[in-house]
Amino acid sequence: MRSFFTEQYIEVGVDEVGRGCLAGNVVAAAVVLPKNFSHPTLTDSKQLSEKERVELESYIKTTALAWAIAEASVEEIDIYNIAGASVLAMHRALDKIFSQITPELILVDGKYFKPYNFVPYQCIIKGDATFFSIAAASVLAKNYRDAQMRTLAQEFPQYAWEKNVGYPTPEHQKAIEKYGISPYHRKTFGICKKFGQEARP
């Protein structure tokens, strides 16, 4: 893992979580870390256990120079498509960051982004497994979104969101076929579009 892309600029790492889900908002986080930041276990949130992520979240929030979490709603996902909504969530997280500090370079996980306020940016495939700032953003976004989906699972227990957090597991897809979709499902996504009648709690 690398502490920075270039030593001379203030960098902010950005990542989103929930792109491949059938339900729930897409959540983005942005993190500015000290240049000398290092951690023995911080990496892509998908490679970490829930216990590790929770422990890391506290460390990230207390160590970071700035951090922020933002989201785009299921309605916005259906309007702008998931790629557009992901960028919208990332831009919202950056809005919060820039109210705290002024980064000079944006490091984005993946290959899709749109310019933000004329600030230079670098898209990095597997960036969350390469740069600490992006990995930190992935941890904050995932913890936030997972908690959000566990809360929604209490309202719609038939979809088992407390376990699948909205991803298209066989159990989740079978529940959509049986019960239809909830207000928290993405109506333009394949199976949700096919079984589009809304379920009730």
Mean pLDDT throughout 55-75? 97
Q: Is the pLDDT of residue 196 over 80?
A: no
Q: Is the pLDDT of residue 131 over 80?
A: yes
User: What's 6-53 look like in SS3?
Assistant: CCCCCEEEEEEECCCCCECCEEEEEEECCCCCCCCCCCCHHHCCHHHH
Angle at 110 between CA 104 and CA 111, to 5 degrees: 85
What pLDDT does residue 97 have?
A: 98
What pLDDT does residue 198 have?
A: 66
Q: Spell out the domain ranges in the chain.
A: 11-152, 153-194
Helices marked H in the chain — which ranges? 50-63, 74-98, 132-155, 161-164, 170-179, 190-194
Q: Is the pLDDT of residue 199 over 70?
A: no
Q: Kindly state the DSSP code that residue 197 receives in the 8-state scheme.
A: S
Q: Is the pLDDT of residue 92 over 90?
A: yes
CATH topology of domain 11-152: Nucleotidyltransferase; domain 5 (3.30.420)
Alpha-carbon distances of 27 from 8, 21, 141, 193, rounded to whole Å: 29, 11, 6, 22
Q: Is the pLDDT of residue 195 over 90?
A: no
- The token pair at 186 is 């993405």
Tokens 């719609």 belong to residue: 156
What does the pLDDT look like over 148-191, one tens digit per residue?
Answer: 999 999 999 999 999 999 999 999 999 999 999 999 999 999 89
What pLDDT does residue 17 have?
A: 97
Q: Is the pLDDT of residue 123 over 80?
A: yes
What does the pLDDT look like over 17-42, one tens digit per residue?
Answer: 999 999 999 999 999 999 989 999 99
- The token pair at 52 is 């590790």
Report yes or no on whether pTM surpasses 0.75.
yes
- Cβ–Cβ < 8 Å for 143, 54: yes
Task: Classify residue 174 by burial, with Cβ atoms within 10 Å: 0-12, 13-18, 19+.
Answer: middle
Q: Is the pLDDT of residue 200 over 90?
A: no
What pLDDT does residue 201 have?
A: 66
